[in-house]
Structure 1
């Protein structure tokens, strides 16, 4: 996450998902929010997560976040990490 942000200050969820895959995390255990708002503007921040056992690594980046942030949290009962609408990871 830090390397992606440092190299490009990217607010594209795919960049972070791809970096997590490259680090050895399972893509099928990930979630990511949309890069754009409902009216097509760039998102103020993007959240991404990866489920590892009963826990989730959750990250957030974007202009509204002073610095990339990540933390480990308990996973949700239904097996996910993020609450609300997320985009398909179909690449």
Structure 2
């Protein structure tokens, strides 16, 4: 078994102890008499503590950036999707479209799939999108997803964002 040489550790401890001793013995910048008996001396912690609490800056809310990229607007898109997901309308495509419009997204640039399957039962998932100049903001929710998804994807060659049949947004 190989033994470690303890000398480097001893030297390091000695150096740290010497530094601590020297800094504690440094002369004051202004020698002179101490404070008068009636004066109070502020402790170092008093000087560092502000007289009133400093407000903690709140995180900025995502906002629509009409001149930004799809990636720039993904935080707002995601926030809207997550808020609707927490409501009773979590599996209704119209709820997502309406919420995105309220957030400032252009309804004419949106697509949404049907809420119900071709046999009339609730769809396993609903997809919706906003076509942006450089890409598509796409969301997916539904009973088959554990949580909402929001991503940026490239435009389709057809010019749209969603594959398959979508429903008209005529409200």
Please indicate the TM-score interval, normalised by the length of the shorter structure. Answer: over 0.9
The reply on whether 1:26 has 2:118 as its aligned counterpart is no
In structure 2, what is the Cα distance between the partners aligned to 1:57 and 1:26? 12
How many positions carry a matched residue from both structures? 91
TM-score by length of 1: 0.95
Q: Spell out the pairing of 1:1-91 with structure 2 (5 A cutoff).
A: 1-8=81-88, 10-91=90-171
**Helix, strand or coil: the match of 2:143?**
coil
Q: Give 3-state SS (helix, strand or coil) of 2:164's partner.
A: coil
Report the structure, 1 or 2, having the larger strand content: 1
Moved more, 16-25 or 4-13: 4-13
More helix as a share of residues:
2
Task: Say which structure, 1 or 2, has more relative contact order (CA 8 Å, 6+ apart).
Answer: 1
SS at structure 2 position matched to 1:88: coil
Contiguous gaps of at least 5 residues in structure 2: 1-80
What CA distance in whole angstroms lies between the structure 2 residues aligned with 1:79 and 1:23? 24
Unaligned runs of 5+ residues in structure 1 are: none
Q: TM-score, normalised by structure 2?
A: 0.52
Structure 1 runs (4+) greater than 6 angstroms displaced: none
Over alpha carbons, which structure has the higher Rg? 2
